[in-house]
Amino acid sequence: MKYYIKNKTLFLRGNFRAVSSGAGGGLSDVSTIINRTVEKNFMHDSPETFIEEIVRDEGCTGDFYGLLTAVDMKTLCVLINRTITVFITAGVSNPNPENPRLPGTINIIVHSRDGLYDEAMAGLIITATEAKTEALFSMGYDFAGTTTDAVVTCCNKENQKVHRYAGRMTGIGKWTAEAVLFGVQEAIARHDGKKPADKPALYVLSTIGGDHWIEWSPEGCPYYPCHFRGQVCNYCYCPFYPCNDEELGYSVDTSTGGTVWGCTNCILMHHPEIVSHLKKNPMAEISELKKVAEELELEINAEKQSE
């Protein structure tokens, strides 16, 4: 899964199995999921057609799902919790049907790196909605959502299905609920001007010293430079993880008997030239980036660089 923001639109690109409660939603295989900022008084005879025009103008082929919101994408919160990535935009000025034209939508997209059975994706909509409601109540609101809220849940279609259920007692349900509970509160605070929101925020659940959320930013990182001077860190949390490319990483046995992908020696995504290429070509694959690195004579593995 790769994501980027362009022309007031969050794009998720990949090969997804997905469930959407948004316009034109349902259960389907899709290659694009978007969340688009529209005007506060937005009206369209066919939201599905409007979304399709955005998708096609971006050059995306295949089926798609889309969400609409009056919330600025600068307030977007992206949250990473284990194998789950959650995208949230939130405004709450439209809690009831009495003022349907006021901006106020909580849009949530949940992506799982693990494969999900269809019933798990449906279950994640319930789990995300429960956590959203809990977040609103904890902030002192007396409503469970707005009149235009929507949720999309999705997974990488090609990955083996490992989760059949997704209630809050399951691992994937717990991780999703944690992200949504924290993320909705952060997104509302950013939307309401209570926290800076000059660009989207990325939060990662850290387990060091007890579970807690940290807002990650390449600026002011205490570990910089972790690979080489002049490196860039826009993709420190790599959009290709786990790439399973043995030139870049390796499989690590865990204490629980499983394996995780280790990529501490990969420096491909830290070269300014590679980052620039990926920004201009957001659908570029690892093979293309490695070819660019080869043409520019850039080392892609820190171990080889130090030899």
The per-residue pLDDT for 233 is 92
Sign of torsion, CA 163 166 167 168? positive
What is the average pLDDT across 96-105?
57
pLDDT in tens, 192-203: 999 999 999 999
pLDDT at res. 103: 45
Q: Are residues 35 and 170 in the same domain?
A: yes
65 and 114, same domain (yes or no): yes
pTM of the model: 0.92
pLDDT tens figures, 255-305: 888 888 999 999 999 999 999 999 899 889 999 999 999 999 999 998 865
Residue 209: HSE in the Cβ half-sphere, 13 Å Cα cutoff: 3
In this structure, the answer to whether residues 162 and 241 fall within a common structural domain is no
Mean of the per-residue pLDDT values of the chain = 92
Say whether pLDDT at 147 is over 50.
Answer: yes
Domain termination site, one of 171, 193, 215:
215
Q: What percent of the chain has pLDDT over 90?
A: 80
Q: Is 45 exposed, middle or buried (0-12, 13-18, 19+ CB in 10 A)?
A: exposed
pLDDT reading at 50 higher than 90: yes
Give exposure, 77-100, as e/b (b: 16+ Cβ within 10 Å): bbbbbbbbbbbbbbbbebbeeeee
Co-location of 184 and 271 in the same domain: no
Quick count: other Cβ atoms within 10 Å of Cβ 131? Answer: 23
Average pLDDT rounded to a whole number, residues 10-30: 96
Contact yes or no for 107/88 (Cβ under 8 A): yes
| 188 or 100, higher pLDDT | 188
Q: What is the pLDDT of residue 267?
A: 96
| Residue 127 CB partners (closer than 8 Å, separation 6+) | 166, 167, 168, 173, 176, 177, 180
How confident is the model over 170-215, as pLDDT tens digits? 999 999 999 999 999 999 999 999 999 999 999 999 988 899 999 9
> What Å distances lie between residue 279 and 191, 195, 208, CA to CA?
26, 27, 31
Other C-beta atoms closer than 10 Å to the C-beta of 168 total 17
Q: Let me know whether 182 and 236 are in one domain.
A: no
What pLDDT, on the 0 to 100 scale, is given for residue 255? 83
- Residues 200, 247 share a domain: no
Question: Mind listing the pLDDT tens digit for each residue in 219-267?
Answer: 878 888 899 999 999 898 899 998 999 999 999 998 888 888 999 999 9
- pLDDT of res. 84: 97
Number of structural domains found in the chain: 2
Question: What is the model's pLDDT at position 95?
Answer: 60
Please name every residue paired with 18 in a beta bridge, in sequence order, or none if there are none. Answer: 28, 154
- Say yes or no: 235 and 148 in one domain: no
C-alpha dihedral sign at 190, 196, 200, 206:
negative
Structure tokens at 46: 């066919």
Mark whether 157 and 237 lie in a shared domain: no
Final residue of a domain: which of 194, 215, 236? Answer: 215
**Residues 256 and 110 both lie in one domain:** no
Q: Domain ends where: 156, 185, 215? A: 215
DSSP labels for 208-254?
A: TTSSEEEEE-STT-TT-SSS-TT---TTSS-TT-S---TTT-EEEE-
Domain limits at 257?
218-305
39 and 74 share one domain = yes
Looking at the structure, tell me whether residues 113 and 252 fall in a common domain: no
169's CB contacts (< 8 A; 6+ apart) are none
In the predicted structure, residue 101 carries a pLDDT above the cut 50:
no
Block residue for tokens 């959650």: 86
> Is there a contact between 15 and 49 (Cβ–Cβ < 8 Å)?
no
- In eight-state DSSP terms, residue 24 is T
Residue 307 has pLDDT above 70, yes or no: no
Whichever domain contains 19, its CATH number is: 3.60.70
Dihedral pair phi/psi, residue 290, rounded to 5°: -65, -35
239 and 286 inside one domain: yes
Peptide bond into 196 cis (omega under 30): no
